[in-house]
Amino acid sequence: MHHVLVDRWSRGASPLHALDPRAKILSLAVFLIVLATTSANAVVPLTIDAALLLAGILIAGLPPGTLLIRAMAVLPFSLTFGLISWLAGDSLRAIGLIEKSYLSSVAVLLVVSTTPLPRLLGGLESLGAPRLLVLVAQFLYRYLFVISEQAQHMRLAAASRQGIPGAHRRSRFRAAAGALAVLFAHSYYRAEGINRAMLARGFSGKFPLLKPLRLKFADGLFLLAMAVFLVLVRVQ
Amino acid sequence: MHIPDNFLSTPVWVALDAISIPAAGLMVRRAGRDVEDTRIPLMGVMGAFVFAAQMINFPVGLGTSGHLVGGALLACTLGAAPAALVMTAIIAIQAFVFQDGGVLALGANVFNMAIAGVLAGYLPFQIWGAGRWRKQAIFVGAFLSVLVSASLALSELLISGIAMPQPVLLLSMGLFAISALIEGAITVSVVGAIEKLNPGFVRKAEASNGRTLAMLSGAAVVLGVAGFVLASSAPDGIQKLALQLGLTTKSSFHGPFADYAVGYFDSPWLRRATAGLAGLLVIYGICAAVGKMIARQRSA
């Protein structure tokens, strides 16, 4: 599955993996803002931005082909709107939508693939995201795979049982609603169990990071270099 | 409908980030006050449930199937503020891990789906959820939640200057209306089935405490409708608005800044974006004023 792959990538070892998540998040923000304000026909800056991303992928030791294909998840949406804009006679915008949304997607994927999500969320929290929101996102990510797997089992089971051709649509609709209700109840009781188990293990209301975040000199240097470089490319 | 990065013009995403950050902060604070600590894992697991629920297909006829979006269902089971918090977490995870929706556009997506969508979904349940029209209220809530999110997203794209010919616009509105109906049907039958398993899963509508939330939800619906009107008349509507505000070269304005204004507003993109930003600021001002009024009323 897609997210499992990204999760595995994010636990690699490379200079990019070793950077503090905050340095990566802020560099990503600079990159995205610079990209968003770059004109779609500014070929040189866009090429340099793309080359920068490619260099990042290679430095991080990620498979470029697989990653670039993953990032195409955005394309159905961009291509649709690109086509609409093109038909409306705005071909520059059409090209811009497609190339810039793809570059943004690659940039986000590069950061997520070099930062384990708990560290990424920890970085967001120390940059000011509300603690409760980060906590809920942590739980969500942790149980995403568990509940999804259960949903898949249920779907398989339902498909095996409902092989009767011509089963009434109404009854299949109600069966799906029942399945969701059961999934809901399972999730609910699972959450109660999780809560009790975590209290028993002394959960203090915060997930500790195995390696605490520490902003080193190299992180600051990276952020500064990225920001200066990107802005210089933008204003040329 | 998750908007990717680089679809919205800079003034639009900046304004929506500026609106969403305090709004989401407010929702988180409210949720933190309303929800005991023992329910924090529940909120996370419910977010995972909404993700997983998309794998279960509902046959809707003509060989197609739909799936749950979940905003209204979360609002009925967790309450409005926790539901908004969970939806915000979902949208953030989708943007970062699945590249579904942009990072700069997070503010826009959170505003459309987690704040306006959830509040619009909660409003009918809050008003009629206790009485005879309960089922209908849940249906209308789920319907509104999808429709409000979609029409807001559509109007933001239009304000950003993405040209959509009339037929495309009508077609997408029609598709959104159909998916909103499907969401209503799914939510009603799932809430019914959940209640059969354990009536305690679904909130008592009258137990919730807020006039504030009801008013905010009303504002969300109004905003959605306004967005709808805007979207269906735009981009002509926005240009007309700009014309009326004197933001065009054809205006009879001959002040010392005339040249500058011509240069700046010559580009239709900037003109439209400026008009859009002005509109958003007006809306933000109204929301802030209403919020302050409520706060004063409460402390009095």
Establish if B57 touches chain A: CB-CB under 8 angstroms. yes
Q: Is the pLDDT score of B246 beyond 50?
A: no
Residue type, B28: V
How far from chain centre, in Å, is Cα B97? 22
How far is the alpha carbon of B32 from chain A, nearest alpha carbon, in Å?
7
pLDDT tens, per residue, chain A with 236 residues: 456 888 889 988 999 999 999 999 999 999 999 998 888 888 888 999 999 999 999 999 999 999 999 888 888 888 888 888 888 777 888 888 899 999 999 999 999 999 999 999 999 998 888 889 999 999 999 899 899 999 888 888 877 876 555 567 777 788 888 888 999 999 999 998 998 898 888 887 777 777 777 888 888 899 999 988 888 888 77
Q: How confident is the model at residue B292 (pLDDT cuts 50, 70, 90)?
A: low
Look at residue B280 in the predicted model and tell me its pLDDT: 57
Chain A residues in contact with B68 by the CB 8 A cut-off are 180
Model pLDDT for residues A59-110, shown as the tens digit of each residue: 999 999 999 998 888 888 888 888 888 887 778 888 888 999 999 999 999 9
Report the residue from A90, A148, A205 with minimal CB separation from B52: A148
Chain A residues in contact with B150 by the CB 8 A cut-off are none
Cβ atoms B44, B59 nearer than 8 A: no
Chain B CA closest to residue A40 = B6
The answer to whether A188 contacts B45, with C-beta atoms less than 8 Å apart, is: yes
Model pLDDT for residues A108-121, shown as the tens digit of each residue: 999 999 999 999 99
Look at residue A30 in the predicted model and tell me its pLDDT: 92
The answer to whether B41 contacts A198, with C-beta atoms less than 8 Å apart, is: yes
Percent of chain B with pLDDT over 70: 67
Cβ atoms B123, B223 nearer than 8 A: no
Residue type, B114: A
- Mean pLDDT for B46-68 is 80
Q: Is B2 left (phi over 0), alpha (psi -120 to 50) or beta?
A: beta
Task: Write down the residue that tokens 């560099």 correspond to.
Answer: A27
Model pLDDT for residues B191-232, shown as the tens digit of each residue: 989 988 888 888 776 545 556 666 666 776 677 666 656 655
The answer to whether B194 contacts A74, with C-beta atoms less than 8 Å apart, is: no
How far is the alpha carbon of B254 from chain A, nearest alpha carbon, in Å?
31
Look at residue B74 in the predicted model and tell me its pLDDT: 92
Record the tokens describing residue B157, joined without a space: 């794209």
Tell me which DSSP letter residue A163 carries.
-
Q: What are the backbone angles phi and psi of residue B259, rounded to the nearest 5°?
A: -60, -45
How far is the alpha carbon of B134 from chain A, nearest alpha carbon, in Å?
18
Tell me the count of A-B CB pairs closer than 8 A.
232
Q: Is B70 left (phi over 0), alpha (psi -120 to 50) or beta?
A: left
Q: How confident is the model at residue B130 (pLDDT cuts 50, 70, 90)?
A: confident
The answer to whether A112 contacts B96, with C-beta atoms less than 8 Å apart, is: yes
Which is it for strands B58-61 and B64-66: parallel, antiparallel or unpaired?
antiparallel
Rounded (5°) CA angle B232-B226-B127: 130
Closest CA to B105 of B174, B157, B70: B157
Chain B CA closest to residue A94 = B162
Those of residues 11-40 in A touching chain B at CB distance below 8 A are 28-29, 32-33, 35-37
Establish if A197 touches chain B: CB-CB under 8 angstroms. no
Chain A residues in contact with B95 by the CB 8 A cut-off are 108
Q: In the predicted model, what is the mean pLDDT of chain B?
A: 76
Q: What are the backbone angles phi and psi of residue B60, rounded to the nearest 5°?
A: -120, 10
The answer to whether A108 contacts B99, with C-beta atoms less than 8 Å apart, is: yes
Those of residues 94-113 in A touching chain B at CB distance below 8 A are 96-97, 100-101, 104-105, 108-109, 112
Look at residue B252 in the predicted model and tell me its pLDDT: 37
Model pLDDT for residues B162-194, shown as the tens digit of each residue: 877 778 888 888 888 888 998 999 999 999 899
Q: What is the ipTM of this complex?
A: 0.90
The answer to whether B56 contacts A90, with C-beta atoms less than 8 Å apart, is: no
The answer to whether A176 contacts B42, with C-beta atoms less than 8 Å apart, is: no
CA distances from A29 to B57, B176, B294 (A): 37, 32, 35
Q: Is the pLDDT score of B256 beyond 90?
A: no
Those of residues 186-225 in B touching chain A at CB distance below 8 A are 186, 189-190, 192-194, 196-198, 201
Q: How confident is the model at residue B282 (pLDDT cuts 50, 70, 90)?
A: low
End-to-end CA distance of chain A: 41
Which of A115, A184, A195 would you mutate first to test chain B, the one with the most B CBs within 10 A? Answer: A184
Those of residues 122-151 in A touching chain B at CB distance below 8 A are 130, 132-133, 135-144, 146-148, 150-151
Report the residue from A133, A151, A174 with minimal CB separation from B56: A151
Look at residue B268 in the predicted model and tell me its pLDDT: 54
Q: How confident is the model at residue B291 (pLDDT cuts 50, 70, 90)?
A: low
Q: How confident is the model at residue B247 (pLDDT cuts 50, 70, 90)?
A: very low
Establish if B171 touches chain A: CB-CB under 8 angstroms. no
DSSP assignment of A39-92 = -TT-HHHHHHHHHHHHHHHHHTT--HHHHHHHGGGGHHHHHHHHHHHHHTT-HH
Establish if B5 touches chain A: CB-CB under 8 angstroms. yes
Q: Is the pLDDT score of B242 beyond 50?
A: no
Distance CA B298, CA B209 (A): 13
Look at residue A102 in the predicted model and tell me its pLDDT: 93
Distance CA B94, CA B284 (A): 26
Look at residue B239 in the predicted model and tell me its pLDDT: 46
Cβ atoms A76, A30 nearer than 8 A: no
